């Protein structure tokens, strides 16, 4: 399946597509030293959130999809050099609204999990 959204995204910051199918996407983020929040290599949560958001947008896979809300819980730390895998799937669809469940893991350990609410607009949000 071809991605139809976020064509200019920086995959170094938000992750690379590992899998994409109807209503489901997997993104893998290789964490970099520039993502560290401190001298011990703790990755800033915003980068994990970015990968989760990107996975959710890909699960919807519409050029006019936007994030409306997020309820994401951070459950464990991520350190520089680890690979975060975010799996997203549409769990509910009603009109333009999509509920997308996302789980992000490092190996077998879940590091973030939650629900993102996306909306498919008639035209680009900036139009």
CATH architecture of 11-120: Roll (3.10)
Percent of the chain with pLDDT over 90: 99
- Decide the pairing of beta strands 65-74 and 24-30: unpaired
What residue spans define the domains of the chain? Answer: 11-120
Residues 7-22 have a mean pLDDT of 97
For 76-113, the pLDDT digits (tens) are 999 999 999 999 999 999 999 999 999 999 999 999 99
């Amino acid at each position: 399946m071809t991605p139809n959204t976020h064509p200019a995204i920086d995959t170094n910051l938000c992750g690379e597509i590992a899998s994409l199918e109807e209503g489901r996407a997997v993104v893998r983020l290789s964490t970099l030293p520039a993502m560290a929040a401190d001298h011990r290599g703790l990755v800033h949560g915003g980068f994990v959130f970015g990968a989760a958001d990107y996975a959710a947008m890909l699960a919807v896979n519409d050029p006019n999809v936007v994030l409306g809300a997020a309820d994401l819980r951070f459950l464990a730390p991520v350190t520089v050099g680890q690979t975060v895998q975010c799996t997203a799937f549409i769990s509910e669809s009603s009109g333009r609204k999509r509920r997308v469940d996302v789980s992000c893991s490092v190996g077998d350990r879940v590091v973030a999990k939650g629900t993102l609410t996306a909306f498919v607009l008639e035209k680009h949000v900036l139009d």
